[in-house]
Chain A
Amino acid sequence: MDVFIQTMVSGILIGGIYALVGLGMTLIMGVMRIINLAHGQLMMVAMYITFVLYEYFNIDPYFSLLVSMPALFLLGVLIQKYLLNPLLRIESIIPQNQILMTVGVAMVLTEVMRFIFQSDYKSVKTPYSSAVLYISSIAFNFPMLIAFGIAMLLTAGLFFFLLKTDTGKSVRATAQNKDAALLLGVNAEWITQLTYGLGAALAAAAGTLLLPIYYLYPDVGGPFTLKAFIITVLGGLGSTVGAIMGGLVLGVAESLGATYISMALKDAVGMVIFVLVLVFMPGGLKTLTKV
């Protein structure tokens, strides 16, 4: 029984971080209908920012959220403004060239970081990195609990923003029907920039929160990009609640798969679920909730 409970607990905790990764992606995919293959790399950049702040200025990773998120927001806006939006105006044979652009962006971000920091592994070692709460014999990793909490807060914030503010409503309108939104006077250009910026900032939050329990090198982003779109499709495009659920489901499924099938097939479990959802429940989990 302990094995099962511990597996569930670590699955849910890692799911919180996955949710945060997926949240950014679901915004971007929902509004712009493109897969952001640079998502993990944006996370990686934020992790380097956090690392530098900790290493040279001794700033706690949780405070550096205040730097890494705005920084990545800005980076995201710039990428959208100068690299992705101009593509909309060009006729091309392959409609997916925005996706390919994100591949290029991902490569450049990774290599620029490699140029600056080399391929060395970096880590941030805080006093609480290995702090653990025990409830009977079940271990709760403390930084992961905090990450989970912050993930929930950010989701709630985003949810509120999308539902209650005018800008948020414009974002949702653009996601639903871009042309109609344009007609109604929504500045679509700005909305896409804002969306990509927000997506990048959420990826930054995920990276920063992950750093104390993980480590960092320039290629760290790739696997998280894959996770991000699994979660997005699992939860349903553009749905914040879906992203949370998708993250948790993926985390738990991976953990259960790793415990009861094989650790080596952990990533395959996610992929199989992903394909099944794509085929049998294309709307994702959000179709179950109607939110």
Chain B
Amino acid sequence: MKKSTVIVIALLFSIGLFLYPASAQEAIKVGVILPVTGEKAKFGEIEKKSFEMALEEINAAGGINGKKLEFIFEDDTGRPDVARSAAEKLITKDQVVMLGGGYGSSETFAIANVAQESGMPFLVSTGSDNKITEQKWEYIFRINPPVSDYPRGLESFLTEVVKPQTAAILYENTNFGSSGQKEFQQTCERLGIKVVMAEGYQSGGVDFKPLLVNVKKANPDLIYMISYVMDASLLMKQSMELRLTPKVFVGGGAGYTLPEFQKNAGKASDAVFSATLWYQTLPYPGAKEYYDKFLKKFGMDTEYHGAEGYASAYVIADALKRAKSLKPEDVRGALAATDMMTVFGPVKFIAYDKMTNQNKLPTYVVQWLNDKLELVWPKEVASKPYVYPIDWEKVWK
């Protein structure tokens, strides 16, 4: 008797909670999904801070046609199923006008699937698997280049400067890593570089030496590695221990540009190249200001992930300003018509290769020189001249 009363009350209460009306719509709400807990939280944090910084500036400058812009952050904890729940919540419960964010490729893919199904515009800021914009999903836009473009800036560097004959590709067994490996292998074939080895590994390993001794035996000219930050530093440290000396080490984005990489790898990080999407000295308006402001405000470095988030916020604001109404269809139209300059570079959504609604950007090559990350390629925008050829014995002394 008592039990059933309690249950009835609980159920009534829960129905009340379910029907609880969404708070009055004053601000324009945009959902942003990023990992802020879990293993990918490091990058999610940089992006989230950048989103917040941009939001303050946008609202200080009058918001969206007089209305305040509001970002509702959801944590995907680095898991696709949670990302999906978060997207569902933002769309149906918070009734956001569009979605942003998306860090890991798998999570982004899951969110994009929900967004497309519900007809909700989604601006991807980081998730870089090519597949995401290859589905002809008209509601999905991507500001960052796909993973196949990451080494595009590197191509000219390889053909003009290094001219390697053979390459080894080491990649982490994740969506990002394995799609990156596939794309780079094709790039190598196109450039006439023989891939002597392509091997995946489980992220988080302690000892990469068994992998590296095989690389040493294959003795490639180029070692291309796709890894997150700590695997990256261990790979370099252990390469140094084994005296693995290819012509160049190149990181395929992600881990190799973070300050933590240098901090952990120490001198093993020296002279390592990395493909990158952005660098603070690039001649984009506001790039350096963004970098300095971030550094001052949070006391930590930012890098391309942060710039992606910061630029995304401005693209979102710009699209919402131009949209005829806040209906998803109109926001989608406004996003598709985007043509603006951001700290991350020019943003315009076009179709190329097999992709649609994809922003096309040049990519760059950076190198760690004297414990600092310097932009070295293309030459016109370089912050320092590249160091090549590299005498590893001297670098690692």
Q: Is the CB of B207 within 8 A of A139?
A: no
A123 at the interface (CB under 8 A from B): yes
Q: Is the CB of B263 within 8 A of A259?
A: no
Contacts of B266 in A (CB 8 A): 125, 129-130
- 6 interchain pairs (CB within 8 A)? A6-B209, A7-B210, A119-B37, A139-B242, A213-B206, A217-B39
Min CB distance A37 to B, Å, is 18
Choose from B37, B230, B267 the contact partner of A121 (Cβ within 8 Å): B230
Q: Is the CB of A125 within 8 A of B264?
A: yes
Min CB distance A266 to B, Å, is 7
Q: Known: A3-B214, A6-B242, A125-B264. Is A130-B207 also a contact (CB below 8 A)?
A: no
Contacts of B199 in A (CB 8 A): 262-264
Bound-state Cα–Cα, A256 to B214, Å: 11
Q: Is the CB of B229 within 8 A of A255?
A: no
Contacts of B213 in A (CB 8 A): 2-3, 6-7, 259
Contacts of A6 in B (CB 8 A): 209, 213, 242
A10 at the interface (CB under 8 A from B): yes
A176 at the interface (CB under 8 A from B): no
Q: Is the CB of B263 within 8 A of A264?
A: no
Bound-state Cα–Cα, A254 to B242, Å: 18
In the complex, the chain A residue whose C-beta lies closest to that of B40 is A119
Min CB distance A267 to B, Å, is 6
Chain-A contact segment, one of B82-90, B233-241, B320-328, B380-388: B233-241
Scoring B residues 251 to 270 as 1 if CB is less than 8 Å from chain A, else 0, what string do you get?
00000000010011011100
Q: Is the CB of A263 within 8 A of B210?
A: yes
If A2-B217, A137-B243, A262-B199 are given as contacts, then 15 extra A-B residue pairs at C-beta distance below 8 Å, sorted by A number, are A7-B210, A17-B206, A118-B45, A121-B230, A123-B233, A123-B264, A132-B241, A213-B206, A215-B264, A255-B210, A263-B201, A263-B202, A264-B199, A264-B200, A266-B202
Q: Is the CB of A123 within 8 A of B263?
A: yes
Contacts of B204 in A (CB 8 A): 220, 223
Bound-state Cα–Cα, A129 to B241, Å: 11
Contacts of A114 in B (CB 8 A): 37
Min CB distance B74 to A, Å, is 17
Task: List residues of A (32-90) whose CB comes within 8 Å of B's CBs.
Answer: none
B41 at the interface (CB under 8 A from A): yes
Choose from A137, A141, A259 the contact partner of B214 (Cβ within 8 Å): A259
Min CB distance A119 to B, Å, is 4
Q: Which of B39, B206, B260 has most A Cβ within 10 Å?
A: B206
Contacts of A267 in B (CB 8 A): 202
Interface size of A by CB at 8 A reads 40
Q: Is the CB of A266 within 8 A of B243?
A: no
Min CB distance B213 to A, Å, is 5
Contacts of B173 in A (CB 8 A): 264
Min CB distance B245 to A, Å, is 12
Contacts of B243 in A (CB 8 A): 137, 139
Contacts of A264 in B (CB 8 A): 173, 199-202
Q: Is the CB of B237 within 8 A of A119?
A: no
Interface size class of B (residues with CB under 8 A): 35 or more
A162 at the interface (CB under 8 A from B): no
Contacts of B260 in A (CB 8 A): 120-121, 123
Bound-state Cα–Cα, A213 to B229, Å: 15
Q: Footprint of A on B, CB under 8 Å?
A: 37-39, 41-42, 45, 173, 199-202, 204-211, 213-214, 216-217, 229-230, 233-234, 237, 240-243, 260, 263-264, 266-268
Contacts of A123 in B (CB 8 A): 230, 233, 260, 263-264
Scoring A residues 185 to 207 as 1 if CB is less than 8 Å from chain B, else 0, what string do you get?
00000000000000000000000
Bound-state Cα–Cα, A2 to B233, Å: 24
Q: Known: A263-B199, A264-B199. Is A119-B210 also a contact (CB below 8 A)?
A: no
Contacts of A113 in B (CB 8 A): none
Contacts of B233 in A (CB 8 A): 123, 215
Q: Known: A132-B241, A139-B243, A259-B213. Is A266-B263 also a contact (CB below 8 A)?
A: no
Contacts of A220 in B (CB 8 A): 204
In the complex, the chain A residue whose C-beta lies closest to that of B214 is A259
Contacts of B210 in A (CB 8 A): 7, 10-11, 254-259, 263, 266
Min CB distance A80 to B, Å, is 28
Contacts of B237 in A (CB 8 A): 129-130
Bound-state Cα–Cα, A95 to B203, Å: 35
Bound-state Cα–Cα, A141 to B217, Å: 20
Bound-state Cα–Cα, A114 to B45, Å: 14
Bound-state Cα–Cα, A169 to B22, Å: 66
A214 at the interface (CB under 8 A from B): yes
Bound-state Cα–Cα, A262 to B217, Å: 15
A210 at the interface (CB under 8 A from B): yes
Choose from B205, B206, B240 the contact partner of A130 (Cβ within 8 Å): B240
Contacts of A129 in B (CB 8 A): 237, 266
Bound-state Cα–Cα, A264 to B234, Å: 16
Min CB distance B78 to A, Å, is 10
Min CB distance A13 to B, Å, is 8
Q: Is the CB of B263 within 8 A of A130?
A: no
In the complex, the chain B residue whose C-beta lies closest to that of A142 is B241
In the complex, the chain A residue whose C-beta lies closest to that of B170 is A263
Q: Is the CB of B41 within 8 A of A118?
A: yes
Q: Is the CB of A121 within 8 A of B207?
A: no
Q: Is the CB of A7 within 8 A of B209?
A: yes
A151 at the interface (CB under 8 A from B): no
Min CB distance A151 to B, Å, is 14
In the complex, the chain A residue whose C-beta lies closest to that of B236 is A130
Bound-state Cα–Cα, A123 to B201, Å: 21
Min CB distance B330 to A, Å, is 38
A173 at the interface (CB under 8 A from B): no
Q: Known: A123-B264, A125-B264. Is A263-B211 also a contact (CB below 8 A)?
A: yes
In the complex, the chain B residue whose C-beta lies closest to that of A223 is B204
Contacts of A210 in B (CB 8 A): 206
A14 at the interface (CB under 8 A from B): yes
Choose from A120, A137, A214, A255 the contact partner of B209 (Cβ within 8 Å): A255
Q: Which 8 A-B pairs have the closest CB atoms?
A: A258-B210, A119-B41, A259-B210, A10-B209, A263-B211, A264-B200, A263-B201, A123-B264
